[in-house]
Amino acid sequence: GLSASAALARRPSITGAELRSAVALPPPFQVPLPIPAVLKPLSTSDGSDHYQITQREARAEILPGVTTPLWTYEGSFPGPTIESRRGRPVTVTHRNELPVPTVVHLHGGRTPAASDGYPTDLVLPEGWPDATTPPGHEAGHGSGHGAPHVMHDPRAVVTRLTRDYTFPLDQRATMLWYHDHRMDFTAPALWRGLAGLHIVRDDAEDALGLPAGPRELPIMITDRAFAADGSLAYPSLDPTLRERPGVHEPYLAGVLGDVILVNGAPWPVHETDAARYRLRLLNASNARHYELEAVTDDGRRLDLVQIGADQGLLAAPVPHRLLPLAPAERYDVIIDFSGVPIGGRVRLLNRLGEGRTREVMAFRIARRAGDDSTIPRTLATDLPAWRRTDAVRVRDFSFRAGQLHDGRGWLIGGLPFDPARSDVTTRLGDVEVWRLIADVHHPVHLHLVGFQVLSRSGRPPLPHDAGLKDTVSLRPGEAVEIITRFDGYRGRYLFHCHNAEHEDMAMMANLEIT
């Protein structure tokens, strides 16, 4: 086991400013776990699937007795799940009926730049003035958090009302997620509900015999806080968000809520068979980190057997007793309920939480049942084998707090995000090693590519760093080396911190592939 001080060192030193709900919170493990509906395509002709998603305001009864206004994809939070096959292209026509401009990004997608949701490629709502942002908000880094600042992007491709996003999905089977990515306003859009899942499957994965059907569960974890009228509490300077203005230095570290939602429901419970289940875990929280453990009524901890990372299956399973989940990370895990007494419960707990944020959800083991699923000892054989010596260059990036306009913000390599500046230019096909150095906890995400973790402060990667990732959690003071090959498409992409408030407070940079 870890010594107490080692365990302490594993905790994020800084997470965020916790907002407290002003409504009565329900007891844990009462609300059934919702499973987001799978979206039906409008058409499936020419070897591709065409979907339409309307972004609109909706209300939902998330907490009993109050309704919560949300920004949604198709009226629900999470949005509907899209299910695709590897290599079968998908077009999604997004229609923006929200009161603000939006941008859609498919997180983890190998997507041509024109459909990748660059933060200034806005979809304006119908009545929005021609300017890409409202008067007084010509840019303004950060959920309205930062100082207003005029910024113009000559390369932005702005559309009105609708935009077609095309996803080739020529990539490994995995669980992606789509979410808003508007410059400086991603955090409040996420908080208000603009997130959904997109699962890519393939034949190789199907052939493994993993738990499937009702024994495969998407688990999207978010934290939120609620105002007395049931609305989501979020501090923002932007009047179009109709929330309390103010100076938000306390929120520099990110915004945390005191209510844990799984698939949009507070501390839910799911009835299961006494069998193996596949959990597709996603931390879609703005800023909260989790360390998940699965605990039985008599205090036993069940293994979370990791079979996949952000970018698909591992070479071999990795068992965890404690699984850290940084914002935007996905973990594909198998949990075996067969040894749990019928009627018993397994709680998914968050070791980093306090009070109610220690609880996430529960499984109630309802019945005995057959189980012909397996966890093969070899999962995938197609993982890239990049070596340090393959790298044509090594780059260093610091992720640190710094001066942003007339306030404070978050910088990469000492600079705040600027769409007009070129930060990284690389050639299609090049292998590179990046050294990422953090002051506090930063989950760093690269668009377009998957990468492998080479080292953490000179030491070997941690067990949960296995496989191909698109988001890596930098712990306070750490230097993390990753290796990747920039293949797929040419064009303008991004890398950034996925603490959504850090991202909005300018911790983002351009990645140009030529």
Interacting residue ranges for Cu ion, rule: CB under 5 A? 442, 497, 499, 502
Nearer to Cu ion, 101 or 443 (CB): 443
Q: Contact between 485 and ligand C2O (CB under 6 A)?
A: no
CA atoms lying within 13 Å on the CB side of residue 435: 10
Contact yes or no for 200/86 (Cβ under 8 A): yes
Choose the binding region for ligand C2O from 34-42, 88-96, 126-134, 493-501 (rule: CB under 6 A): 493-501
- Cβ of residue 262: shortest distance to ligand C2O, in angstroms? 19
94 binds, among ligand C2O, Cu ion, none (CB under 5 to 8 A by kind): none
Of 246, 331, 329, whose CA–CA distance to 288 is shortest?
329
Q: Contact between 330 and ligand C2O (CB under 6 A)?
A: no
Instruction: Write out the two tokens for 294.
Output: 């699965």
Contact yes or no for 177/108 (Cβ under 8 A): yes
Beta bridge partners of 269: 32, 362
- Cβ of residue 492: shortest distance to ligand C2O, in angstroms? 13
Q: Contact between 107 and ligand C2O (CB under 6 A)?
A: yes
Cis peptide before 78 (omega within 30 of 0): yes
Binding residues for ligand C2O, total number by CB under 6 A:
10
Q: Contact between 442 and ligand C2O (CB under 6 A)?
A: no
Residues 6+ apart with CB under 8 A from 514: 425, 426, 427, 428, 490
330 binds, among ligand C2O, Cu ion, none (CB under 5 to 8 A by kind): none
- Cβ of residue 447: shortest distance to ligand C2O, in angstroms? 6
- Cβ of residue 190: shortest distance to ligand C2O, in angstroms? 9
Q: Contact between 328 and ligand C2O (CB under 6 A)?
A: yes
Of 345, 330, 341, whose CA–CA distance to 296 is shortest?
345
Can you tell me which of 447, 485, 492, 502 binds ligand C2O, judged by CB under 6 A?
447
Choose the binding region for ligand C2O from 149-157, 213-221, 305-313, 490-498 (rule: CB under 6 A): 490-498
198 binds, among ligand C2O, Cu ion, none (CB under 5 to 8 A by kind): none
Question: Which residue number places its CB atom closest to ligand C2O?
Answer: 107
Q: Contact between 270 and ligand C2O (CB under 6 A)?
A: no
Nearer to Cu ion, 55 or 499 (CB): 499
Nearer to ligand C2O, 155 or 367 (CB): 155
Q: Contact between 181 and ligand C2O (CB under 6 A)?
A: yes
Nearer to ligand C2O, 181 or 278 (CB): 181
Instruction: Kindly state the DSSP code that residue 156 receives in the 8-state scheme.
Output: -
215 binds, among Cu ion, ligand C2O, none (CB under 5 to 8 A by kind): none
181 binds, among ligand C2O, Cu ion, none (CB under 5 to 8 A by kind): ligand C2O
Contact yes or no for 129/119 (Cβ under 8 A): no
Residues 6+ apart with CB under 8 A from 381: 315
> How far is it, in rounded angstroms, from Cα 257 to Cα 189?
15
Element (H, E) at 222: strand 216-224
Instruction: Write out the two tokens for 349.
Output: 């707990």
Nearer to Cu ion, 179 or 442 (CB): 442
Nearer to ligand C2O, 485 or 502 (CB): 502
DSSP per position, 59-127: EE--STT--EEEEEETTBSSPPBEEEETT--EEEEEEE-SSS-B-EEEET----GGGS--TT--EE-TT
Choose the binding region for ligand C2O from 63-71, 148-156, 366-374, 492-500 (rule: CB under 6 A): 492-500
Choose the binding region for ligand C2O from 3-11, 207-215, 297-305, 491-499 (rule: CB under 6 A): 491-499
- The answer for 469, left when phi > 0, alpha when psi is -120 to 50, beta otherwise, is beta
* Tally of CB atoms within 10 A around 436: 22
- Cβ of residue 410: shortest distance to Cu ion, in angstroms? 6
Residues 6+ apart with CB under 8 A from 127: none
- The answer for 259, left when phi > 0, alpha when psi is -120 to 50, beta otherwise, is beta
Nearer to Cu ion, 133 or 499 (CB): 499
> How far is it, in rounded angstroms, from Cα 398 to Cα 382?
32
- Cβ of residue 494: shortest distance to Cu ion, in angstroms? 14
Residues 6+ apart with CB under 8 A from 229: 66
Query: % helix / strand / coil in the chain, to the nearest 5?
Result: 10, 40, 50
Can you tell me which of 19, 28, 81, 105 binds ligand C2O, judged by CB under 6 A?
105
> How far is it, in rounded angstroms, from Cα 394 to Cα 328?
25
Nearer to Cu ion, 200 or 507 (CB): 507
- Cβ of residue 171: shortest distance to ligand C2O, in angstroms? 15
What's the Cα-to-Cα distance from 198 to each of 37, 75, 504, rounded to whole Å?
Answer: 11, 17, 24
| Site of interaction with ligand C2O (CB under 6 A) | 105, 107, 179, 181, 328, 445, 447, 494, 496, 498
